Structure 1
Amino acid sequence: MATRNGAAHLPAQLASLAAQIHRNWQLWVSDDGSQDATRAIILDFARTHDVRLIDGPQRGAVANFMHLLCHPELPPAPAALSDQDDIWLPDKLARAVTALTRTDAPVIYGGSSVHITNNDKPVGTSPKWPRGPSFENALLQNVVSGHSTVLNPTALDIVRRAGVPAGIAFHDWWLYQLLTGAAARVVLDTQTVLHYRQHTDNVMGSFRGPLARRLGLMLDGTFGGWMAVNMAALQATDVLTPAARAKIETVLTAPRRLARALNQTGTHRQNRADNAALFAVAVLGRI
């Protein structure tokens, strides 16, 4: 769990962790310099639960989560990412552990969620992904939301070998890219396993909003910047399959013919409207 000034909703999240039917867990918390009661709430919870509290790097939530995942003392066990203000349903961990322990090969798990406001009002659900997960999809889109992500030990080892990448905008998108690029299996659970609290300043949430908003982020270069940083970080690792590395090189070496390169590599988003918008922007040279 990565925390920063989360006192308002943290008690409810901790209570939901305590209510898990899967009881064999340890909570690791990296606190990024909270100025409210966050640390006191965590220390109180630690009186009755197994908790390890460490200091975060204070470089934002992405760096904080990656700091946790790559901490040298983190046990080589299944690792579940947790936001500080969500509410887990009692079977969340149990469902993930069941899915992850069926193989020693790398697996990343993502569950479905009900989206709620700061006042706990339901406002939607997590999207469905008709084309399924793949590395070709991961290069352009994240379908494994960080608030539901769980890694098995083999997947966690890959993440730790790759280290903390510089400049990435979203840790969950990075995990999806990195692990599918390393031939990990992706399990997308259609069962609702948590309530995810949405925020008005959620950048990736905005990108998942109306098509016009996503198109704006493509046209103004924001999305292209994300892609460039992620692909450079992927190239710097030694965990990718040769096929994944070749796809990245094809895309990066054809900036003036990006639409053709995307088509050639099978790179895609999940729906036709998004794909059409992306290819149009690529043809215009705006990515």
Structure 2
Amino acid sequence: MKNQKPFNAPDAPLPVGKRHQHRSSPVVGVLLCTYNGEQYISQQIDSIVDQSHQNWKIYISDDGSTDSTLQILEGYQQKIGQERLQVFQGPKAGFAKNFLSMINRDEIEADYFAFSDQDDIWLKDKLERSLNFFSDASADGPTLYCSRTILFGKNNSKKETSPLFKAPPSFKNALVQSLAGGNTMLINGIGRELLKGVSSKFEIVSHDWITYLIISGCGGQVIYDPEPTVLYRQHENNLIGGNMSLQDRINRLRKVLGGSFIEWNDNNLLIINSLKVTLTDQNKTTLECFELARKSSFLKRIALIIKSGVYRQTVAGNISLAIATVLNKL
């Protein structure tokens, strides 16, 4: 990775990775992380098994479950075969590092890779729809697909759809916002090779945010699908909620003003700087303006944030960004 140029450069070399030739029916590696998921894991696996695109393999990293999760997984292995469902022991360092640990496992081979949470339900055409978008994408660079979700509660009752984002996906957006949930994401093999560059020594805010940040930063293609592909379960044990209600947004603003945004940015910037050589020249400039703004006096800080061009996807989000800028909470 050290000598690699940004992927939008004409002579950018491709990372070395396992490439498959079955373009008509590509293999999708589903990367599913579990931890004490006995209550919902069967519904999620059933929704994967029932996909309209059937050329998949499920790779599961369990982070030390003490309930019946592993027994449930053994039952599915017997049902669908160990060659199609493999279980690994996770690093026991949180969900984000568990996901990224799977990115680095040599045993995991596929053409594309989908992140999966243990308590959601995939719509039947999730994989097929994701792959259809890839058919129009460049085969020579990293590509990320993501979509909206449908939030639902304990009784599987459908609720509202996640916000429709209309601003284009970009590195300028990724620096200050995670675009979509990892549970909707599909990346290609080149995208996976990029993510392998993330050192395990770093604290990771979320695997979906860092995926968006890295792939957009190097000039890769980010596809945002306005149609939902996942039923995103909301319950008291959610590690990350939907941030849909007014109270959710107020709580999020409190976190931003309380210093969480600073901490999140600190962690993300350490990671993106470790991969800075892969960024496009334009994104390097954006990054430098944003980093300098965080250390600057009031007027200079505002000028540098404007120059950087960073933005969030909603009016409310941009207002909170402006407040964070004024109060030096970047």
TM-score (norm 2): 0.82
**Does structure 1 retain, via aligned residues, the 8 Å contact 2:162–2:242?**
no
Q: How far is 1:260 from its partner? A: 2.3
| Matched residue SS, 1:85 | coil
In the alignment, structure 2 segments of 5+ residues that lack a partner are 1-31
Aligned to 2:49: 18
- 2:65 is the alignment partner of 1:29: no
| Matched residue SS, 1:195 | strand
Q: How far is 1:191 from its partner? A: 2.3
Judge which range, 229-238 or 158-167, deviates more.
Answer: 158-167
Aligned to 2:114: 80
Aligned counterparts of 1:18 and 1:221: Cα–Cα separation in 2? 42
* C-alpha spacing 1:165/1:202, structure 2 compared with 1 (3 Å): farther
Any residues of structure 2 matched to 1:210-229 within 5 Å, and which? 210=246, 211-229=249-267
CA deviation vs aligned residue, 1:217-242 (integer Å, no higher than 9, x gap): 12100011101110121001132222
Aligned counterparts of 1:243 and 1:76: Cα–Cα separation in 2? 32
| Matched residue SS, 2:263 | helix
Judge which range, 201-210 or 170-179, deviates more.
Answer: 201-210
1:137 alignment partner, one of 173, 193, 200: 173
**Does structure 2 retain, via aligned residues, the 8 Å contact 1:206–1:214?**
no
**Does structure 1 retain, via aligned residues, the 8 Å contact 2:198–2:271?**
no
**Does structure 2 retain, via aligned residues, the 8 Å contact 1:206–1:213?**
no
Q: How far is 1:113 from its partner? A: 1.7
In the alignment, structure 1 segments of 5+ residues that lack a partner are none
Amino acid at match of 2:51: Q
Any residues of structure 2 matched to 1:177-188 within 5 Å, and which? 177-188=213-224
**Does structure 2 retain, via aligned residues, the 8 Å contact 1:82–1:148?**
yes
2:292 alignment partner, one of 253, 258, 266: 253
Judge which range, 31-40 or 240-249, deviates more.
Answer: 240-249
- Count of equivalent residues: 287
TM-score (norm 1): 0.93
Any residues of structure 2 matched to 1:84-103 within 5 Å, and which? 84-102=118-136, 103=138
| Matched residue SS, 1:248 | helix
Q: How far is 1:46 from its partner? A: 1.2
Judge which range, 72-81 or 128-137, deviates more.
Answer: 72-81
* C-alpha spacing 1:219/1:207, structure 2 compared with 1 (3 Å): farther
| Matched residue SS, 2:149 | strand
Q: How far is 1:119 from its partner? A: 2.5
**Does structure 2 retain, via aligned residues, the 8 Å contact 1:69–1:156?**
yes
Q: How far is 1:274 from its partner? A: 2.2
- 2:105 is the alignment partner of 1:71: yes
Q: How far is 1:57 from its partner? A: 0.3
- 2:74 is the alignment partner of 1:40: no
Q: How far is 1:97 from its partner? A: 1.5
Q: How far is 1:29 from its partner? A: 0.2
Q: How far is 1:143 from its partner? A: 1.1
* C-alpha spacing 1:203/1:46, structure 2 compared with 1 (3 Å): closer
Any residues of structure 2 matched to 1:103-252 within 5 Å, and which? 103-104=138-139, 105-164=141-200, 166-200=202-236, 202=238, 204-205=240-241, 209-210=245-246, 211-237=249-275, 238-252=277-291
CA deviation vs aligned residue, 1:10-48 (integer Å, no higher than 9, x gap): 111111111111111110000001011111111111123
Aligned to 1:286: 329
| Matched residue SS, 2:311 | coil
Q: How far is 1:247 from its partner? A: 1.6
Q: How far is 1:204 from its partner? A: 4.5
Identity of aligned residues (%): 29
